[in-house]
Structure 1
Amino acid sequence: MLDVSALPRVSRPLLRDEAYERIRHAIIDGSLVPGTPLRDADLAEQLGLSRAPVRQALLRLAEDGLVASKPQSYTRVAEFVADDVRDAVRLVRALHELAVREALPRLGRAHIAEMRTANERFAAAVAKGDVGAAIEADDELHDVPVRVCDNRAVAVTLGRYTPLLRRVEYARFSSLPAQRSVKRHDELIAALEAGDGATAARVTATIWTDLEALLEDQ
């Protein structure tokens, strides 16, 4: 039987959405490695659900590019595809630049403070080598302009493609320029606080370009 012990049981009946979130997180953080077979019966048993919501979750994950499936043949965790990840980096970079520009007129002191706090948590997690906490803090920092810009298309598209990049970061965290990212975040926050949209967009682009450069090196 497939070992899916890394998946926590669902404690409340959120069904398809909860199954989707749990399986997606296990794929992103590497608990379910690329190529792992995904049998709906095994997953349903581990999650404490029926097979129907698990099947629906797997279909959605296939649309996200995190699961590879061939009818009557296999369903498994998708392998890393360098071109797909590279395309995702470029799209995510452009959308974060747009979010920063659109959010700037609406950003207040509380938003800047929220970003600073997130970067402090990011720096502390990097120092400890806590991959999950670092990525969570990084998400929180970059989510502030995305949330403030109030562009649903940006938010939805980032939600679709960012997980592909987070998989890479979990898998290659030791190779990431994480300490440099702390400095980049500080530069971004300073630019936003100063109302300098051009610099904020440039720094944002650099943050994601660093990740793209890492992919090229790998």
Structure 2
Amino acid sequence: MPMPSTDHVPRISLSDEAYARIETAILDGALAPTERLRDQDLVDWLGISRTPIRHALDRLAEHGLVEMQRNRYTRVAPFDIAGVRGALEVAGDLWSGAVRRGLPLWHGDDVDSLIESFGLMEATEDDLPTFVRIFEHLVTACVRLEGNPARLRALANVIPHVHRLARMVTVAGTMDSDRLRRFVDDVNAAIRERDAPAAADHIDHYIARLAAAMSTS
């Protein structure tokens, strides 16, 4: 009998599946910093054979989430406050750069969506995990709108480290409601005016304050 086409069904490789599931476990804290990652334990947990798991671990090591010493150990990378701060600064540079170059060309609907997302950031109050999630959304949305593949690839390398911010550190003053409100009001006003340099400067200044305020929890 004729079978329906499955060409439209997205496919994910076993290596990609292993990567995504291990990365999620690292980022949400289920796999703690310095925890050993043994092949057989991962095979039993994921239900995936060793070879794609090793490929996934190699990629996670390239992105700094896993440490490997051949024939000695594979483990979750220790939490590195300086590394997270650096990732935040790079993500901020990518964000402001995308806004500086792309904002004048973005469609009205895209601009309205960004302004709405900034409003959600303002409402996070003391909820740091939600703040980080909205931060990631805004940075990724702006970089995708600009459409620079190199910038998007660079962002993919640093966002996982920024995500660790939500669980591992306290950012003194990050959730200061007055400061956050001023940032959102200022950047939204610049976006409405399509004033790309001003919007990018507001982003740069706010990220600089966050990076300077970071401390271990």
Q: TM-score, normalised by structure 1?
A: 0.82
Change (3 A) 1:85 1:160: same
- Bigger helix fraction: 1
Q: Contact between 2:133 and 2:163, CA under 8 Å: does it hold in 1?
A: no
Structure possessing the higher radius of gyration over alpha carbons: 2
Change (3 A) 1:198 1:112: same
Residue in 2 that maps onto 1:129: 127
Shift of residue 150, structure 1, vs aligned partner:
0.7
Residue in 2 that maps onto 1:105: 104
Out of 144, 160, 165, the residue aligned to residue 163 of structure 1 is: 160
Amino acid at match of 2:69: K
Residue in 2 that maps onto 1:144: 141
Structure 2 unaligned blocks of 5 or more:
1-10
Q: Distance in 2 between matches of 1:40 and 1:121?
A: 41
66-75 or 80-89: bigger deviation = 80-89
The percentage of counterpart residues that share the same residue type is: 33
Q: Distance in 1 between matches of 2:111 and 2:48?
A: 41
Residue in 2 that maps onto 1:24: 23
Secondary structure of 2:207's partner? Answer: helix
Residue in 2 that maps onto 1:154: 151
Residue in 2 that maps onto 1:115: 114
Q: Contact between 2:122 and 2:184, CA under 8 Å: does it hold in 1?
A: no
Please tell me the root mean square deviation across aligned C-alpha atoms, in Å.
Answer: 2.4
Q: How does 1:42-191 map to 2 (within 5 A)?
A: 42-124=41-123, 126-127=124-125, 129=127, 131=129, 133-172=130-169, 175=172, 177-178=174-175, 179=177, 180-181=179-180, 183-191=182-190
Change (3 A) 1:68 1:51: same
Residue in 1 that maps onto 2:13: 14
- After the TM superposition, list the runs of 4 or more consecutive aligned residues in structure 1 that deviate by more than 4 angstroms: 173-176
Aligned length: 204
1:17-57 C-alpha deviation (Å, 9 max, x unpaired): 12111211221222211111111221222222112211111
Change (3 A) 1:60 1:181: farther
Amino acid at match of 1:80: F
Shift of residue 83, structure 1, vs aligned partner:
3.5
